[in-house]
Amino acid sequence: MSNFRKTQQTQEETEIQGQVERITYANEDNAYSIVKVSVAGNRQLVTVAGNLLSINPGEVLRLKGTWFNHPKYGEQFKVNSYTSITPATVSGIEKYLGSGLIKGIGPVLAKRLVAKFAETTLDIIEQTVERLKEVDGIGEKRVSMIKSAWVEQREIKDIMLFLQSHGVSSTYAIKIYKHYGHNSIEVVTSNPYQLATDIYGVGFITADKIAAKLGFAKDSPLRAESGILYVLHQLADEGHVYYPRELLTDECMKVLDIERELIKQAMDAAASARHIVIDEINGSENNAGNKAVYLAKFYTSETSIAANLKLLLTTISTPYVFDEDKALQWVQKELSITLAENQIQAVKMSFNRKVLVITGGPGTGKTTIINSIIKIYKRLGQRVLLAAPTGRAAKRMAEATGDDARTIHRLLDFSPKDGAFKRTDKSPLDADLIVLDEVSMVDTILMHHFLKALPPHATLILVGDIDQLPSVGAGGVLRDIIDSGVVAVVRLNEIFRQSQRSLIVVNAHRINGGEFPILVNDMEQNRDFYFLEIDDPETIVERIVSLCKDRIPEKFNFDPFRDIQVLTAMYKGQLGAVNLNAGLQNALNPKGMEIIRGGRVFRTGDKVMQLVNNYDKDVFNGDIGKIVSINTEDQEITVNYYGKAAAYDYTELDEITLAYAVTVHKSQGSEYQAVVMPVHTQQYIMLQRNLLYTGVTRGKRLVVLLGTKKALYIAINNNKPRHRYTYLKERLR
């Protein structure tokens, strides 16, 4: 037996040295990795496990640790500490450079560099990088990219080691470096809580752990103020525009574990610094006590919405005289339609109301009313603008009306460079009539910017379905405007004859009215709504995959990527979006070039969704696209959104997620040819009438529900939407 084998049998800390051959597993959140290492004296690769930060194949590691026998995977070396040594062999250097370490060098270029410079390759990159131009195909631009990437990765490594020792994952370490550059360590050391504000994905909890390791006291004013802002942001994510002061104090005490008096002092300090606003709101039926605490931007937005709506309502339009009855006769002939009595009343109201809300479910004639109004206004020579909150909703609006419709961001001319809208009260929109669709999706902050840019003489028509889920962002703007009683509202309840043939429309209205839907369980029948009763969640997942891959494309001639969308109530769990995406990806897109990041697999051809607004890329939360290329040399993934390409650096991949399955919340404002949706008691916490109704109404030509009648019954009978603290209704009154 060799000395090497003797060492393996001891439990004492020992040292080995070897070259990383491949990385079997890497968790980007905590840097725990499992790697295969070639060690001199051992014929087989050694399995090494432990916290190995941002290592690359080809790297030589000097490792300290202990041997142990894993019950499933056999003998492994458990790392306690390690140092990285630059590889010295030609094969090591090639593997090292080809691993994606340096942006601008992929496996092919690494091979050519090593073929030219052999063992001196790394020295040349370090000291005389211009010599790389001696290799065919490398020009000034590529040399420049390699040079800056080499310097950056060296600096990132130092910052990573510092941040890793304070509990920050390698993914966030790169983001922190990109945001603060050379000042990263200084910023983190002086105010770690700044990370929670500045870096997407780093929350207060992570920042708090770093602060504790850096010696910040639990009761420090900086921690208390940051904690209050964190709690308010969390509450905003739940939909609240403000939170009652006493209840907020209770929440902060739970999170921060400090005295009530310290929190009150920190609140006053945050208010003095104008980070928050503490407002007296006597008479609110929602408030416990009479002090409301707002994040400053929400206070500004809510008060601005109220002020601008009041301005619209009280400003007289430029009068124009015409015969309303003749206009109605003309538009019906022009569109080859016959308007129902309630539709005629709605069109007439648009002529003498400054602000009008039109609300109703599918098949109730909202589009017909809007088309009629637009036609008449244009015939009168009025300037008309159409908008919706998302790209998909705007596209639907344009298709339904035959007119140009834009997203609110495009309508208001958002400038990524400045991070601001160019259209404001100083430079208002040039329009006489503005129609905004899918208003249930519009949150408080976006509505503030929208109304701010409206010319006071204009007529505003707000269109939406009040019974859908409220906006993902904070507030309940459409409901508050309707409930305020200060704006004219047209409620459409009657389903038109042509829509009565659709079981999707009929069942959507039955669900919304608290009635059990008409269930068809035989997919051989020629209907557009089916319910497949399956009790076992694992079987539901398998059936969803087979429906999307084979059954629905074969029977209905729908494209699995373009036409079919799986919707689910939750993100996690067996019937959650994450698990469903894994199964659907493997069935629908099993091959193709791929990259693995933090346990997530992205492949060329994958259907993905943008998770946050990214104004630089001109892509927004909820946009769905397809991965068209993965560039290992430039470390970029390119996604095609509606014919528009967006490139993502590997460090930005937490901004996208697989979208074969998405949550119902993320589907708002969208319409799909076919919707497949699990409804099971495993999703109990999310089973609500408005969620089920929203999911069903996303389907245009087919809806398939899978699950249990019990879960359907629970959802239909749970008609208590989660309460949101807003004060807009009272401000409008």
Integer CA distances (angstroms), 107 to 26, 99, 287, in order? 20, 7, 61
Give the mean pLDDT of 443-472. 93
- Which amino acid would we find at residue 112? R
Using one digit for the tens of pLDDT, what is the confidence trace for 246-259? 999 999 999 898 99
Identify the pLDDT of residue 276.
94
* Unique residue bearing structure tokens 């589009």: 367
Identify the pLDDT of residue 552.
94
For 253, the token pair is: 């005490």
Query: Which range in 272-286, 448-462, 642-656 is most confidently predicted, on average pLDDT?
Result: 448-462
Question: Residue 700: which residues within 8 A CB-CB, separation 6 or more?
Answer: 504, 671, 672, 673, 674
For 603, the token pair is: 């492949």
Using one digit for the tens of pLDDT, what is the confidence trace for 33-75? 888 998 888 888 999 988 776 677 878 888 888 988 888 888 8
Using one digit for the tens of pLDDT, what is the confidence trace for 303-333? 999 999 999 999 887 667 788 889 999 999 9
Identify the pLDDT of residue 250.
93
Identify the pLDDT of residue 31.
64
Identify the pLDDT of residue 43.
82
For 309, the token pair is: 């709506």
Find residue 609's DSSP bridge partners. Answer: 624, 657
Question: Rounded to the nearest 5 degrees, what angle is found at the Cα of 536, between the Cα atoms of 535 and 542?
Answer: 120
Using one digit for the tens of pLDDT, what is the confidence trace for 533-547? 999 999 999 999 999
For 20, the token pair is: 């990383």
Identify the pLDDT of residue 29.
57
Residues of the chain with pLDDT > 90, as a percent, come to: 44
- Residue by residue, DSSP assigns 438-497 as -GGG--HHHHHHHHHTS-TTSEEEEEE-TTS---SSS--HHHHHHHHS-SEEEEE-PPPH
pLDDT higher than 50, residue 385:
yes
Separation CA 680–CA 687 (nearest Å): 8
Separation CA 516–CA 713 (nearest Å): 7
Give the mean pLDDT of 236-244. 93
Asked if 47 and 72 touch (Cβ cutoff 8 Å), the reply is no
Mean pLDDT, the chain, rounded, equals 86
Question: Residue 406: which residues within 8 A CB-CB, separation 6 or more?
Answer: 385, 386, 387, 388, 394
Using one digit for the tens of pLDDT, what is the confidence trace for 319-378? 677 888 899 999 999 889 888 888 899 999 998 899 999 998 888 888 899 999 999 999
Instruction: Let me know how many helices (H) and strands (E) the chain has, helices first.
Output: 28, 28
Using one digit for the tens of pLDDT, what is the confidence trace for 171-229? 677 678 778 877 888 888 888 888 887 887 777 888 888 888 888 898 999 899 989 99
- Which amino acid would we find at residue 673? Q
Separation CA 37–CA 729 (nearest Å): 65
Identify the pLDDT of residue 463.
94
Evaluate the CA torsion angle 584, 590, 592, 598 in order and state its sign. Answer: positive
Range in 135-139, 290-294, 434-438 with the lowest mean pLDDT: 135-139
Identify the pLDDT of residue 316.
83
Residues of the chain with pLDDT > 70, as a percent, come to: 93
pLDDT band, residue 449 (cuts 50/70/90): very high
- Alpha helices by DSSP H, listed for 3-103, are 3-8, 90-96
Give how far the C-alpha of residue 97 lies from the chain's centroid of Cα atoms, to the nearest Å.
33
Range in 24-33, 55-64, 72-81, 402-411 with the lowest mean pLDDT: 24-33
Identify the pLDDT of residue 28.
61
pLDDT band, residue 486 (cuts 50/70/90): very high
pLDDT higher than 90, residue 706:
yes
Tally of CB atoms within 10 A around 320: 11
3-state secondary structure 98-158: HHHHCCCCCHHHHHHHHHHHHHHHHHHHHHCHHHHHHCCCCCHHHHHHHHHHHHHHHHHHH
Evaluate the CA torsion angle 492, 486, 694, 641 in order and state its sign. Answer: positive
- Alpha helices by DSSP H, listed for 364-466, are 366-379, 391-401, 408-411, 444-452
pLDDT band, residue 720 (cuts 50/70/90): confident
Interaxial angle between packed helices 577-588 and 537-546, expressed in degrees from 0 to 180 and rounded to the nearest 10:
40
Identify the pLDDT of residue 497.
56
Identify the pLDDT of residue 109.
86
Q: Which of 571, 555, 467 has the alpha carbon at shortest distance from 514?
A: 467
Query: Which range in 88-102, 280-294, 624-638 is most confidently predicted, on average pLDDT?
Result: 624-638
